[in-house]
């Protein structure tokens, strides 16, 4: 039996096993499928009950269970009998004592099975009902039934009064008390009383009114009296009472604070400044008197200044600042002050003596004498005392004088002129120039700094110059900073010295740089007109070439390395670029001038400033390249930071799928309020559903799909094995034929060699 027969037998056996497995699966699933079909079929009918006689019950008639509830604690709880109200005789200010539970009730039918139709009737005319009847459904509460005390109560005398609100229902019964009692306490009118009879204050003229002790006014209201709404108003400005109005309940006291205010400072010195405080309001008409005695004080000399020392500063020889110190000498006493003072050695006081009447004042000017100009730098002080003689009223101040050195006097002198010439070979004439700086003697040190064009170097460019000293500053051309300058032109600039000086504070020296070409020498230069660009702009480099008329044809070779992130744009530069290195060759005829533009731009924007350097070399020669002159090139270009919008526009947008919004099913609102019972569950049978066919059950379909895939896989493996067997057989036959062919060729070659025939090439397979 060959391999092909064995494969067919195995394939038949596997197919039989697959059929048997499918039949066994159907047999195992059949009970479950039958139960599913029965569950999805029409519902079975319950057994018919037998006609067994049941005992009959007489239904109870619906009943009303009426309750009176007060307060906010729920039906039938928190009752408050009687309810309390208060008010004043002949006034309409009647109100509940406890607004939370007095003045309202709840009509409740909590346990009844029938609705309650109720009525409420007060037995007095001074009670008004907002609602005197109503209907309460079963198991419900009729909340917020209010009543109040009306204007008829104004006719009641002072004392306690009681009323009853009686309740009736049309059917059912009333649980608990069927009446609601109301107590009304009518108070007497306001009985306002002021206990103090007179207020008396004493002070000295010039004394601070806030230092006078305040006095107390006591007001009261009689017990069981109504509220007293009061206010007061003193008839003088120098007296203040706090508080000035209020409401005083019955049986209460209140203390008022009466004080002398700042207006008393303007009153003359005498006794008997009278005041009257009047209390007013409904049923209030009271007043209280007062008096302020001001004693005239003796001479009281006072220096009106918050400072006890003054600082005066200036350089040696003056002037000094401030030049005048102004003071005010006052007399706050009741008698004239005769005062005097003694000037110091370098201080002038004007005036230095005089008389000041009560409440008067004299301005004083303190100046620095001329003899202070001769003082050497240092610290000096002097004290000035103003004396009123015999009164003990002495006042002193101190003058502090600081004498400093003279300010810096900075001078600049040009030793060599700052006119430079630079040639293409890098030579600069002159190589450097010197500037002399100096500070005058007996001066403050000079702190100086310089500013200059970018193509100049100043050494040193800043420093500190002591008094009476001088220094030399060297100025030279910075050759590495001249590549951006246009050749064959003169560029002007200024060297500026900045120093705090008694002069104008700055010295400016003109300078210039001329980029020249020798008359009989070639002139070749590469420069950039702009060294700072932003994204979207183009950096322009210019190669300037000049060949003198007296020379032969000039050859110029330019090699330029383009920085990473840059691209060359269209321009005059015909370059051969490879991996960022560009080269060009130019032939300049005698007497000819050429300018070649090189345009480059950044490839992408950047969020931070980016510095790039174009590097390379320029080579020029006539006939002998071995005598060529070469210049190294380094031209920095700064690309400014691009905005976020420019960067975002440059990038490709990404497609992000929108988020899937979650669908939230709305919740049903909870209706009703108060105490409610849970709703009973409804057992509603589901509508009958037709039985699902056997071939529509997902489990049967799944098993069938698995068996079909298994069977297909077995068939594919069988055919693949057959194909591989055929392939191996063909490969064996080909190898046998090749071996036979090679043996024939070898035999022919051997025969030819034996016969000494000319050799022939052996062809391979």
For residue range 133-160, what is the model confidence (pLDDT) as tens digits? 988 888 888 878 899 999 899 889 888 9
The fold for domain 523-650 equals: Immunoglobulin-like (2.60.40)
Cα atoms found within 13 Å of the Cα of residue 473, Cβ hemisphere only? 31
pLDDT of 553 higher than 60? yes
Residues 6 or more apart whose CB falls under 8 angstroms from that of 76 comprise: 67, 69, 108, 110, 175, 176
Compute the distance between CA of residue 310 and CA of residue 384 in angstroms, rounded to an integer.
11
CATH number of 65-187: 2.60.40.10
3-state secondary structure of 165: strand
Q: Are 205 and 193 in contact (CB under 8 A)?
A: no
- To the question of domain 192-295 being in CATH 2.60.40.10, the answer is yes
- Which pLDDT value is given to residue 672? 38
What count of other Cβ atoms lies within 10 Å of the Cβ of residue 545?
Answer: 23
pLDDT of 379 higher than 60? yes
3-state secondary structure of 501: coil
Q: 13: which 2 tokens?
A: 């056996």
- Which pLDDT value is given to residue 670? 37
Of the pLDDT bands very low, low, confident and very high (cuts 50, 70, 90), residue 29 is low
Of 140-149, 448-457, 669-678, the one with minimum mean pLDDT is 669-678
Residues present in the chain in total: 765
Instruction: Tell me the mean pLDDT in the region 60-82.
Output: 66
pLDDT of 514 higher than 90? no
Q: Which residue has the higher pLDDT, 192 or 666?
A: 192
Instruction: Tell me the mean pLDDT in the region 221-242.
Output: 91
Compute the distance between CA of residue 138 and CA of residue 225 in angstroms, rounded to an integer.
47
Looking up tokens 């494969």 gives 7
pLDDT of 267 higher than 60? yes
Q: Using the 8-state DSSP alphabet, how is residue 139 labeled?
A: T
- Which pLDDT value is given to residue 292? 94
- Which pLDDT value is given to residue 346? 86
Alpha helices in 137-234 (DSSP H): none
Of the pLDDT bands very low, low, confident and very high (cuts 50, 70, 90), residue 515 is confident
Q: Which residue has the higher pLDDT, 37 or 203?
A: 203
Task: Give the predicted TM-score (pTM) of the model.
Answer: 0.32
Bridge-partner residues for 432, per DSSP?
476
pLDDT of 77 higher than 50? no
Tell me what the pLDDT averaged over the chain comes to. Answer: 79
Q: Are 11 and 718 in contact (CB under 8 A)?
A: yes
Percentage of the chain surpassing pLDDT 70?
A: 77
Instruction: Tell me the mean pLDDT in the region 596-623.
Output: 89
Of 44-48, 391-395, 623-627, the one with minimum mean pLDDT is 44-48
- Which pLDDT value is given to residue 755? 66
Q: 146: which 2 tokens?
A: 């209010």
pLDDT of 588 higher than 70? yes
Q: Which of 157, 261, 129 is nearest to 203 (CA)?
A: 261
- Which pLDDT value is given to residue 53? 54
Q: Are 596 and 582 in contact (CB under 8 A)?
A: no
Q: Which of 63, 61, 90 is nearest to 156 (CA)?
A: 90
Instruction: Tell me the mean pLDDT in the region 433-451.
Output: 88
Q: 14: which 2 tokens?
A: 């596997």
Q: Which of 216, 212, 168, 171 is nearest to 194 (CA)?
A: 216
- Which pLDDT value is given to residue 123? 93
Of the pLDDT bands very low, low, confident and very high (cuts 50, 70, 90), residue 626 is confident
Instruction: Tell me the mean pLDDT in the region 595-623.
Output: 89
The fold for domain 410-515 equals: Immunoglobulin-like (2.60.40)
Q: Are 396 and 382 in contact (CB under 8 A)?
A: no
Of the pLDDT bands very low, low, confident and very high (cuts 50, 70, 90), residue 246 is very high
Instruction: Tell me the mean pLDDT in the region 669-676.
Output: 38
Tell me: the pLDDT tens digits for 674-687?
333 344 444 444 44
Compute the distance between CA of residue 39 and CA of residue 129 in angstroms, rounded to an integer.
65
Q: Which residue has the higher pLDDT, 598 or 749?
A: 598
Please check whether the two domains, 192-295 and 301-404, share a CATH topology.
yes
pLDDT of 697 higher than 90? no
Instruction: Tell me the mean pLDDT in the region 545-564.
Output: 88
Of the pLDDT bands very low, low, confident and very high (cuts 50, 70, 90), residue 464 is very high
Per-residue exposure over 239-268, b if at least 16 CB sit within 10 Å of its own CB, e if not: bbbeeeeeebebeeebebebbbeeebbebe
Q: Which residue has the higher pLDDT, 6 or 212?
A: 212
Which CATH homologous superfamily contains domain 301-404? Immunoglobulins (2.60.40.10)
- Which pLDDT value is given to residue 36? 46
- Which pLDDT value is given to residue 273? 94
Q: Which residue has the higher pLDDT, 700 or 321?
A: 321
Compute the distance between CA of residue 89 and CA of residue 282 in angstroms, rounded to an integer.
13
| Residue 531 burial (10 A CB sphere; 0-12, 13-18, 19+) | middle
The backbone region for 429, taken as left when phi is positive above 0, alpha when psi lies in -120 to 50, beta otherwise, is beta
Domain definitions of the chain by residue range: 65-187, 192-295, 301-404, 410-515, 523-650
- Which pLDDT value is given to residue 78? 44
Compute the distance between CA of residue 620 and CA of residue 559 in angstroms, rounded to an integer.
12
- Which pLDDT value is given to residue 733? 81
Looking up tokens 């100009």 gives 373
Bridge-partner residues for 498, per DSSP?
449, 506
Q: 104: which 2 tokens?
A: 């309202």
């Amino acid at each position: 039996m060959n391999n092909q027969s064995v494969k067919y037998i195995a394939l038949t056996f596997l197919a039989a096993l697959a059929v048997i497995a499918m039949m066994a699966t159907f047999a195992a699933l059949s009970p479950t499928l039958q139960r599913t079909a029965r569950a999805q079929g029409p519902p079975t009918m319950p057994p018919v009950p037998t006609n067994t006689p049941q005992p009959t019950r007489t239904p109870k008639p619906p009943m009303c269970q009426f309750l009176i509830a007060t307060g906010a604690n729920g039906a039938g709880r928190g009752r408050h009998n009687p309810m309390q109200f208060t008010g004043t005789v002949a006034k309409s200010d009647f109100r509940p004592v406890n607004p939370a539970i007095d003045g309202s009730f709840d009509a409740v039918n909590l346990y009844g099975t029938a609705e309650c139709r109720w009525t409420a009737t007060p037995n007095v005319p001074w009670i008004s009902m907002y609602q005197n009847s109503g209907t309460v459904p079963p198991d419900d509460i009729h909340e917020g039934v209010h009543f109040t005390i009306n204007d008829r109560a104004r006719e009641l005398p002072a004392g306690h009064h009681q009323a009853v609100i009686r309740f009736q229902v049309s059917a059912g019964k009333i649980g608990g008390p069927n009446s609601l009692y109301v107590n009304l306490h009518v108070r007497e009118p306001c009985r306002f009383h002021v206990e103090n009879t007179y207020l008396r204050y004493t002070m000295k003229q010039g004394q601070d009114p806030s230092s006078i002790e305040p006095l107390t006014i006591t007001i009261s209201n009689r017990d069981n009296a109504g509220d007293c709404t009061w206010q007061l108003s003193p008839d003088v400005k120098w007296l203040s009472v706090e508080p000035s109005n209020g409401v005083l309940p019955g049986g209460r006291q209140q203390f008022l604070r009466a004080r002398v205010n700042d207006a008393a400072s303007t009153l003359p010195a005498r006794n008997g400044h009278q005041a009257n405080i009047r209390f007013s309001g409904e049923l209030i008409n009271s007043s209280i008197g007062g008096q302020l005695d001001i004693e005239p004080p003796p001479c009281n000399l006072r220096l009106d200044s918050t400072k006890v020392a003054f600082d005066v500063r200036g350089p040696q020889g003056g002037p000094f600042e401030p030049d005048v110190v102004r003071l005010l000498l006052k007399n706050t006493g009741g008698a004239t002050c005769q005062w005097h003072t003694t000037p110091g050695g370098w201080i002038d006081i004007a005036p230095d003596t005089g008389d000041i009447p009560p409440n008067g004042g004299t301005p004083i000017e303190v100046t620095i004498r001329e003899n202070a100009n001769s003082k050497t730098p240092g610290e000096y002080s002097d004290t000035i005392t103003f004396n009123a003689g015999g009164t003990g009223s002495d006042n002193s101040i101190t003058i502090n004088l600081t004498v400093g050195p003279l300010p810096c006097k900075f001078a600049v002198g040009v030793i060599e002129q700052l006119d430079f010439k630079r040639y293409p070979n890098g030579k600069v004439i002159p190589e450097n120039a010197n500037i002399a700086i100096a500070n005058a003697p007996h001066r403050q040190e000079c702190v100086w700094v310089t500013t200059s064009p970018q193509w100049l170097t100043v050494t040193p460019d800043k420093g500190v110059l002591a008094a009476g000293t001088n220094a030399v500053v060297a100025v030279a051309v910075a050759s590495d900073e001249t590549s951006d300058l246009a050749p064959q032109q003169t560029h002007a600039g200024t060297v500026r010295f900045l120093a705090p000086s008694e002069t104008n504070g700055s010295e400016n020296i003109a300078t210039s740089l001329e980029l020249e070409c020798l008359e009989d020498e070639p002139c070749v230069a590469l420069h950039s007109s702009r060294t700072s660009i932003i994204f979207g702009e183009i950096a322009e480099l210019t190669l300037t070439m000049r060949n003198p008329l007296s020379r032969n044809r000039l050859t110029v070779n330019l090699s330029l390395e383009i920085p990473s992130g840059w691209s060359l744009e269209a321009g005059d530069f015909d370059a051969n670029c490879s991996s960022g290195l560009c080269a060009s060759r130019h032939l300049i005829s005698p007497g000819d001038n050429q300018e070649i533009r090189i345009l480059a731009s950044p490839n992408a924007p950047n969020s931070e400033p980016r510095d790039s350097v174009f590097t390379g070399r320029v080579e020029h020669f006539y006939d002998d390249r071995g005598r060529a002159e070469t210049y190294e090139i380094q031209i920095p270009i700064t690309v400014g930071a691009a905005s976020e919008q420019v960067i975002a526009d440059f990038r490709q947008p990404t497609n992000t799928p929108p988020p899937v919004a979650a669908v939230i099913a709305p919740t049903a609102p909870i209706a009703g309020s108060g105490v409610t019972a849970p709703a009973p569950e409804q057992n509603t049978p589901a509508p009958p559903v037709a039985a699902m066919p056997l071939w529509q059950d997902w489990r049967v379909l799944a098993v069938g799909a698995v068996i079909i895939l298994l069977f297909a896989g077995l068939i594919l493996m069988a055919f693949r094995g057959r194909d591989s067997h055929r392939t191996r057989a063909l490969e064996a036959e080909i190898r046998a034929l090749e071996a036979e062919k090679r043996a024939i060729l070898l035999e022919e070659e051997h025969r030819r060699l034996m016969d000494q025939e000319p050799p022939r090439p052996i062809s391979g397979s």
